[in-house]
């Protein structure tokens, strides 16, 4: 099915992209659409990062307790007092 673009600003951008890349207008539009679709596609690693963030959030909820073994008192910068 043919695609008609009625917005002159968009047509100018497509023509500029085609000139800049040396591609035809059709190839430039296809490449741009493919790139945008790739950005929208969830990465297989997104699930892994979500699980890692959940684990880190659980660790962050563990209260800081003074260690019975650590002989030093630490300041807010992680240095011994």
CB contact set of 6 (below 8 Å; sequence gap of 6+): none
Q: Return d(Cα 43, Cα 45) in angstroms, integer.
A: 5
Q: Return d(Cα 26, Cα 57) in angstroms, integer.
A: 47
- Read off the pTM: 0.51
Of residues 38, 14, 37, the one with CA closest to residue 27: 14
Q: What mean pLDDT value characterizes the chain?
A: 88
- Residue 59's Cβ-side half-sphere holds a number of Cα atoms within 13 Å equal to 6
CB contact set of 23 (below 8 Å; sequence gap of 6+): 17, 31
pLDDT tens track for 26-62 = 999 999 999 999 888 877 777 888 899 999 999 999 8
């Amino acid at each position: 099915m043919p695609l008609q673009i009625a917005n002159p600003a968009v047509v100018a951008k497509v023509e500029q992209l085609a000139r800049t890349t040396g591609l035809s207008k059709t190839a430039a539009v296809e490449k741009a659409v493919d790139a945008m679709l790739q950005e929208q596609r969830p990465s297989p690693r997104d699930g892994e990062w979500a699980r890692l963030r959940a684990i880190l959030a659980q660790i962050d909820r563990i209260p800081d307790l003074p260690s019975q073994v650590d002989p030093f008192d630490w300041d807010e910068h992680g240095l011994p007092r």
